[in-house]
């Protein structure tokens, strides 16, 4: 979901994209800044093609490059207002608008760091199968839809495993079950008041 | 007829060789060629590579018995080093630039600079000096040895002209033809050669480049190696003496040494 203040303006934006065929980039924050970052990265991929020397940018070097860019922009007091996740073969990293970086087995931005990370910390195992991993992510996104009033239940899941198989799914809707929330409704008395 | 042409050339050399931006009647850039001469005057450097390693070696000259031997091998980064022949000061300036490029790349991309890209930019840097009034070509030839994670070992040669060559094995500098002859004879076996034997090959090739009454010893021989899981390592002094001893055991390396002087280009 791409919001315009509190207006749900674009309901199915591409917030996860591939870079080359071996890297995934996902971003929160200012969508236009994300688009600008993608333009730069696509230029980088084209440069690799033009050099024609067998070298291909991998997720790690893209992560390092974005770090340098984000930190430089923040130092010039003109940041790219994004929190970015970079994924590739054997790599998962994070860069934010002030150039902070970290790598971990699971990463989240925005509300996800408050709501999804505890779930992931509890449920993640190094030997998760793909199906289990997808289900885990869907559970996290579901909770985010329940609890973040600026979220939608339309999501995308992306996967990358080897050197050339990065792929992003089409947007699809998560199934939700609001029956458990009846208890929180409280006594409305017709006006939802205190 | 041919001597007439030679006379013509000799006469016209003076007219067309003052500026680097002027072609001679034969379509040559004489200043660039003079710069290449500088490389040929430098003492010999050799380079050779196997499947996992690149070895470069050089003969270090000393002005007289009281002086030190001129350093010929320089580290550029953990995965890259150069051997120089020609104007040492020009070489140091180039090395500084290369080191800077490698460090910048590492800072931005978190990985080692791909050697071919750096050498292509280096060759372009050389070319730029041949097409402007206010500069002169670099008077030094380099052998660049590098090991890239993605593409393996590489050995490049750069010229003042701006040309870039990649080699399995080569030699530059004074009396380098002798080394080239040795390398041509043996290079097909290099891919499977072990690290230590590769170094011995380099020393054998170098030994043919020594002047008639000189000899290769631990003071004037200089070797460096870089490769898979092996950061750039300089081998000099006592460390190279170990390999020089192997040379003697193998019966010395003066193959083709006698032909060296006569066949120098």
Which residue in chain B has the smallest CA separation from A71? Answer: B108
Residue A175 makes CB contacts below 8 A (sequence gap 6+) with none
Q: Examine the pLDDT at B1 and tell me if it is beyond 60.
A: no
The pTM (predicted TM-score) of the whole model is 0.86
Average per-residue pLDDT in chain B? 90
Nearest to B72 by CA among B143, B158, B174, B165: B143
Residue B2 has pLDDT above 70, yes or no: no
pLDDT band at B255 (very low <50, low <70, confident <90, very high): very low
Does B103 contact A at CB distance below 8 Å? no
Question: Please, what is the angle between helix A112-123 and helix A130-147, to 10°?
Answer: 150
| Side-chain half-sphere exposure of A11, counting CA atoms within 13 A | 5
Most A CBs within 10 A among B79, B105, B108, hence the mutation to make, goes to: B108
Taken in order A56, A59, A60, A63, the sign of the CA dihedral is: positive
Give the chain A residue nearest B148 (alpha carbons).
A55
**Tens digits of per-residue pLDDT, B163-184?**
999 999 999 999 999 999 999 9
Among A3-17, A168-182, B79-93, B239-253, the minimum mean pLDDT is found in B239-253
Contact between chains at B110 and A64 (C-beta distance less than 8 A): yes
Structure tokens at A151: 């979220």
Q: Which residues pair with A7 in a beta bridge?
A: A4
Q: Is the pLDDT of residue B12 over 90?
A: no
Count of other CB atoms within 10 angstroms of residue A10: 13
Q: Can you say whether residue A125 is alpha, beta or left, with left for phi > 0 and alpha for psi between -120 and 50 degrees?
A: beta
HEC per residue, chain A: CEEECCEEEECCCCCEEEECCCEEEEEEECHHHHHHHHHHHHHHHHHHHHHCCCCCCCHHHHHHHHHHHHHHHHHCCCCCCEEEEEEECCEEEEECCCCCEEECCCCCCCCHHHHHHHHHHHHCCCCCCHHHHHHHHHHHHHHHHHHCCCCCCEECCEECCCCCCCEECCCEECCCCCHHHHHHHCCCCCCCCC
Tokens of A14: 């591409």
With CB atoms and an 8 Å threshold, state whether B151 touches A54. yes
- For B94-147, what is each residue's pLDDT tens digit? 999 999 999 999 999 999 999 999 999 999 999 999 999 899 999 999 999 999
Contacts B147 to A, Cβ<8 Å: none
Which residues does B222 contact at the CB level (< 8 Å), separation at least 6? B57, B58, B59, B60, B69, B71, B72, B73, B234, B235, B236, B240
Tokens of A98: 């002030």
B148 touches chain A (CB under 8 A): yes
Positions of chain A with pLDDT under 70: 182-194
Cβ neighbours of A68 in B, within 8 Å: 107-108
Higher pLDDT, B18 or B145: B145
| Facing B150 at nearest CB: one of A55, A63, A68 | A55
Reading the block at residue B230, the tokens are: 């092996």
Using the Cβ of A89 and the Cβ atoms of chain B, whether some distance falls under 8 Å is answered with no
Backbone φ and ψ of A70, nearest 5°: -65, -40
What the block records as the tokens of A71 is: 């930190």
- Whole-number Cα distances in Å, A61 to A41, A88, B98: 11, 10, 20
Strand B140-148 and strand B152-158: the pairing is antiparallel
What's the CA gap between A165 and B169, in Å, rounded? Answer: 38
Mutation for A interface: B104, B107, B109, B117, most A CBs within 10 A: B109
Residue B24, both tokens: 């001679």
Nearest residue to B83 via CA among B42, B113, B32, B115 = B42
| In the predicted structure, residue B189 carries a pLDDT above the cut 90 | yes
Q: Tell me, what's the pLDDT at A180?
A: 73
Q: What pLDDT is recorded for position B262? A: 42
- Number of other residues whose CB lies within 10 A of the CB of residue B39: 25
CB < 8 Å to A53, chain B: 114, 116-117, 151
């Amino acid at each position: 979901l791409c919001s315009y203040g509190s207006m749900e303006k674009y309901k199915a934006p591409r917030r996860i994209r591939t870079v080359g065929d071996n890297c995934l980039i996902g971003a929160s924050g200012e969508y236009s800044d994300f688009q600008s970052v993608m333009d730069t990265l696509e230029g980088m991929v084209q440069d690799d093609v033009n050099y024609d020397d067998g070298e291909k940018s991998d997720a790690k070097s893209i992560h390092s490059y974005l770090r340098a860019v984000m930190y430089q922009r923040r130092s010039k007091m003109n940041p790219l207002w994004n929190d970015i996740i970079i994924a590739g073969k054997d790599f998962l990293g994070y860069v934010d608008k002030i150039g902070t970086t970290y790598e971990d087995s699971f990463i989240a931005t925005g509300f996800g760091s408050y709501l999804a990370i505890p779930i992931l910390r509890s449920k993640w195992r190094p030997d998760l199968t793909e199906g289990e991993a997808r289900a885990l992510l869907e559970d996290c996104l579901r909770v985010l839809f329940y609890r973040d009033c600026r979220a939608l239940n339309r999501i995308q899941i992306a996967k990358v495993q080897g050197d050339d198989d990065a792929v992003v799914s089409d947007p699809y809707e998560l199934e939700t079950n609001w029956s458990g929330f009846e208890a929180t409704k409280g006594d409305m008395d017709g006006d939802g008041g205190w | 007829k041919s001597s007439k042409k030679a006379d013509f050339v000799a006469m016209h050399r003076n007219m067309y060789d003052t500026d680097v931006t002027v072609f001679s009647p034969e379509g040559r850039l004489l200043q660039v060629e003079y710069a290449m001469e500088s490389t040929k005057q430098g003492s010999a450097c050799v380079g050779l590579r196997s499947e996992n390693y690149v070895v470069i070696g050089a003969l270090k000259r000393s002005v007289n018995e009281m002086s030190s031997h001129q350093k010929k091998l320089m580290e550029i980064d953990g995965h890259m080093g150069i051997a120089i022949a020609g104007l040492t000061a020009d070489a140091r300036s180039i090395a500084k630039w290369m080191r800077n490029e490698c460090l910048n790349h590492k800072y931005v991309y978190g990985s080692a600079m791909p050697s071919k890209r750096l050498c292509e930019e280096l060759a372009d840097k050389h070319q730029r000096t041949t097409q402007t009034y206010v500069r002169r070509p670099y008077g030094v030839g380099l052998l660049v040895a590098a090991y890239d994670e993605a593409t393996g070992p590489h050995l490049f040669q750069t010229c003042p002209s701006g040309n870039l060559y990649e080699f399995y094995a080569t030699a530059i500098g004074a009396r380098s033809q002798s080394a080239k002859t040795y390398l041509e004879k043996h290079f097909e076996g290099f891919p499977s050669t072990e690290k230590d034997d590769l170094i011995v090959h380099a020393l054998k090739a170098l030994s043919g480049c020594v002047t008639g009454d000189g000899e290769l010893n631990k003071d004037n021989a200089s070797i460096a190696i870089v490769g898979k899981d092996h950061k750039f390592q300089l081998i000099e002094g006592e460390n190279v003496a170990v390999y020089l001893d192997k040379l003697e055991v193998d019966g010395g390396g003066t193959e083709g040494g006698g032909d060296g002087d006569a066949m120098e280009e």
